[in-house]
Structure 1
Amino acid sequence: MHYFILISVIIVAGASQGLLLPLLTVMLEHQGVSSDLNGLNATMLYIGIFSTLFFIEKLLKRLGFKRLLVYALTLITCVLLLFPVFKGIWVWFALRFLVGVGDSALHYASQLWVMTTSTEQNRGRTLSFYGMSYGIGFSIGPLGMNLLHFGEWAPFVAIALLCLVVLAAVVFILPNYQVMGAKNDGPALEKRYLRSFQWAWFALLPAFLYGYTEASMNSSFPIYALRIGLDQEWISFLLPFFGIGGLILQLPLGMLSDRIGRKKVLMGAGLLGGIAFLVLPVFGANAWAILVLFMVAGGMLGSFYSLGLAFAADVLPRAYLPSANVVATFIFSIGSIVAPNLAGLGMQHISISSMFWLLGAFFIAFSFLGVFYKRSCRVEPIQAEAAISEPM
């Protein structure tokens, strides 16, 4: 029961991100906001995520999983209801920042719990199911744009109500698990952050690529679609198929990584996903071709974050996992912050298709980098009780 409540938290977190990014982008585009300023506004979500990295590990150890999840869900729910009240890009800068803070807390707590309670034999499958849950929410989110027919407030109220339902389950059912080893769990934090990336850089880079892809697709694709002549309804219809592709292949790729190794799966998926992105602009405004390529790219790349975390847990000692999670979130945030600005500038000054050219190049380059990565640290077995304890 506790695990499924955690999964519901992730579904709602994915739905809020999946809705807000394209919804606010489309609303600002209709207001005549330029693509580069629109992209800058979208980055505030990820700047909010980034800002939590300086205290989130200590905060989780102090509050425990339940209280951190409660505070984060409460913050997100309140902010969602403020979007239709305080309209305009400048207020939305602050509101998007606060949503990012809440989302970061939700993801950090839930990811660490799943990582530390899984074994090496089932880690790919377990984290893939976690990724599938986020993908379900992220795929459902853009469909909320269709509620705009009832008023600009309708999509925000709908997702806020979902947050309230999950918040009630967390408050009344979920126990307050505590993180153990808060004081004597390996080297100093700064050294663990550096060593985590030094030892597992190839496993952590997927976090950057996933963040870059997510932000590009949800904040910049709506602009791309509108400017090549697709209707707004097509945007809300097409975006979920990127997530649907990930849902279809998330678990199979995770299970395959348990059998043949996560590095091989990451390299192969990155290569195929990169090719799909490079080919996409060739089909112009052919919505059905875009749909198929979205499913291919999403299928290959939708599990990148979870597979990267699983690979990091394979190659890092137990004491480094909380810090590696912070590093992954940091890299994810960097990719997410860079993406809307880079894509917006590219579409404004180079080519409307430049966002897909860059996405394809990034993933293909990542696949070739895998040839040079070698495991360089000794792995300690990960036991669930070493990281999480029952409530006092």
Structure 2
Amino acid sequence: MRWGTYLIVTSAVVIVGLAMGITLPLVSLRLDGWGYDAFAIGVMAAMPAIGVLLGAKITGTLAGWLGSEPCMRAVMVVSAASVILLALWPSYSVWLGLRLLLGVSLTITFVLGESWINQLVEDRLRGRLVAVYGSAFAVSQLCGPLLLSLIGTEADTGFWLSVGLLGLGFILLLLVNGAPRVDAHSANSQGIFSFVRTLPAVAWAIMLFAAFEAMTLTLLPVYFLREGFAQALALIMVSTVVVGDAVLQVPIGWLADKFSRTALYRVCGLVLVGSSLALPVLLHTPLIWPVLVLFGASAGGLYTLSLILVGQRYRDDALVRANAHIALLWGAGCLLGPLSTGAASKWLSSHALPGLMAIGALGFVLLAWRRGAFAELATPAQR
């Protein structure tokens, strides 16, 4: 196994996550300071999710035309240029377009980067090494807002720091080669419905985690505030969920290399059902803290194990195509999760967020326990 390439590619993708962890909240905070209302900020926040859907559609075609490594380097430059323009051109309408472009370019980076990592690793180490990537990426997203709190939001320092990080990612990608080979005509996002029919549990798990992540960063703090917690404590509780996601992925990956991956997958679903149901019940007790950790870890485990299962099955343009499908499903989850939860919170119940997560996790469990649910993952694809 090429350990140097694995470390460099993982570092490059994680650096992109850190840059976006700084830039995305900075844009929202800047708009809030300019006096824009919640709807306008929400529209801006939705643009990257739309970019995810567009980026997933064109990743295979671009990578086939340019080659995977040049394509990743090119979109890293596009991401950096977009952030530069965010700093230099403070206009709401312009920022809408730039956020959309960022969503497209970052999706291409993640699809190709995760495909590259998954193809590099040996199957006996796949669980641990994919989990290390997932954990590092989660930590990078957590560190972005923390760095932003240190450097402040009044000046454009956060934008320029993100540009520097993206430049570092570009330099790192100059040092490696051997990314998955892509056929421009076959490795596109077409066939998403076939992917969902073939692996419905995997598809549902990806959408569920995307919804979880979007809701954790946007609606979970509001849920805790409306349940009577002070703002500082509400943010600590959200951070506990994120830390549970980040820290426990490596143990989950280790277990995935030692025991049945599909059985562990089902266990994560059951834990997510239980922790979601326990949230409103134990919210005002000391037991809420381990529940928050399990809530984050089980949801993150579903995504990590999805990547592991897909990586053991596919190679080259089939792997890129599968990751493009994952990106499309991710974008759909990011859009549908907050929208449905926001509506249900307003018209049905203040506990809609954990309630809908429990329903979603139960749906995964039912899909995962169907006979032959993972038959298509039993043997790896032809190289």
TM over 0.5: yes
State the AA in 2 paired with 1:341.
L
Kindly tell me: are residues 292 and 35 of structure 1, through their superposed partners in 2, closer, same or farther at Cα, counting changes over 3 Å?
farther
Q: Which residue of 1 aligns with 2:156?
A: 153
Which of 314, 336, 343 is the aligned partner of 1:345? 343
What CA distance in whole angstroms lies between the structure 2 residues aligned with 1:225 and 1:31? 26
1:177-188 to 2 correspondence within 5 Å? 177=178, 179-180=180-181, 182=183
Q: Is 1:170 aligned to 2:204, yes or no? A: no
Kindly tell me: are residues 193 and 316 of structure 1, through their superposed partners in 2, closer, same or farther at Cα, counting changes over 3 Å?
farther
State the AA in 1 paired with 2:159.
F
What CA distance in whole angstroms lies between the structure 2 residues aligned with 1:116 and 1:230? 45
Any gaps of 5 or more consecutive residues in structure 1?
387-392
Q: Which residue of 2 aligns with 1:390?
A: none
- Asked if the contact 1:48–1:97 (Cα under 8 Å) also holds between the matched residues in 2, the reply is yes
- Asked if the contact 2:58–2:189 (Cα under 8 Å) also holds between the matched residues in 1, the reply is no
% identity of equivalent residues: 21
How far does the alpha carbon of each residue in 1:158-201 deviate from its partner, in whole angstroms, 9 at most, with x for none?
33322222222223x223x35436279xx896775444333222
- Asked if the contact 1:246–1:299 (Cα under 8 Å) also holds between the matched residues in 2, the reply is yes
1:1-392 to 2 correspondence within 5 Å? 1-25=4-28, 38-87=41-90, 90-147=93-150, 149=152, 151-171=154-174, 173-175=175-177, 177=178, 179-180=180-181, 182=183, 193-225=192-224, 227=226, 237-282=236-281, 292-314=290-312, 320-374=318-372, 375-377=374-376, 381=380, 386=383
Q: How many residues align?
A: 379
What CA distance in whole angstroms lies between the structure 2 residues aligned with 1:220 and 1:88? 26
State the AA in 1 paired with 2:272.
G
- Asked if the contact 2:268–2:299 (Cα under 8 Å) also holds between the matched residues in 1, the reply is yes
Give the deviation of 1:349 after TM superposition.
4.0
**3-state DSSP class of the match of 1:122?**
helix
Give the deviation of 1:92 after TM superposition.
3.7
Q: Which residue of 2 aligns with 1:389?
A: none
State the AA in 1 paired with 2:250.
L
TM-score where L is the length of structure 1: 0.82
What CA distance in whole angstroms lies between the structure 2 residues aligned with 1:100 and 1:229? 35
- C-alpha RMSD of matched pairs (Å): 3.3
State the AA in 2 paired with 1:180.
R
What CA distance in whole angstroms lies between the structure 1 residues aligned with 2:270 and 2:350? 23
What CA distance in whole angstroms lies between the structure 1 residues aligned with 2:354 and 2:33? 23
**3-state DSSP class of the match of 1:372?**
coil
Give the deviation of 1:332 after TM superposition.
0.8
- Asked if the contact 2:183–2:317 (Cα under 8 Å) also holds between the matched residues in 1, the reply is no
What CA distance in whole angstroms lies between the structure 2 residues aligned with 1:142 and 1:219? 13
State the AA in 1 paired with 2:104.
V
What CA distance in whole angstroms lies between the structure 1 residues aligned with 2:296 and 2:108? 25
- Asked if the contact 1:213–1:339 (Cα under 8 Å) also holds between the matched residues in 2, the reply is yes
Give the deviation of 1:334 after TM superposition.
0.6
What CA distance in whole angstroms lies between the structure 2 residues aligned with 1:264 and 1:299? 16
Kindly tell me: are residues 344 and 194 of structure 1, through their superposed partners in 2, closer, same or farther at Cα, counting changes over 3 Å?
closer
Kindly tell me: are residues 236 and 80 of structure 1, through their superposed partners in 2, closer, same or farther at Cα, counting changes over 3 Å?
farther
Kindly tell me: are residues 107 and 150 of structure 1, through their superposed partners in 2, closer, same or farther at Cα, counting changes over 3 Å?
closer
Give the deviation of 1:369 after TM superposition.
2.1
- Asked if the contact 1:200–1:315 (Cα under 8 Å) also holds between the matched residues in 2, the reply is no
- Asked if the contact 1:273–1:360 (Cα under 8 Å) also holds between the matched residues in 2, the reply is yes
Any gaps of 5 or more consecutive residues in structure 2?
none
- Asked if the contact 1:269–1:301 (Cα under 8 Å) also holds between the matched residues in 2, the reply is yes
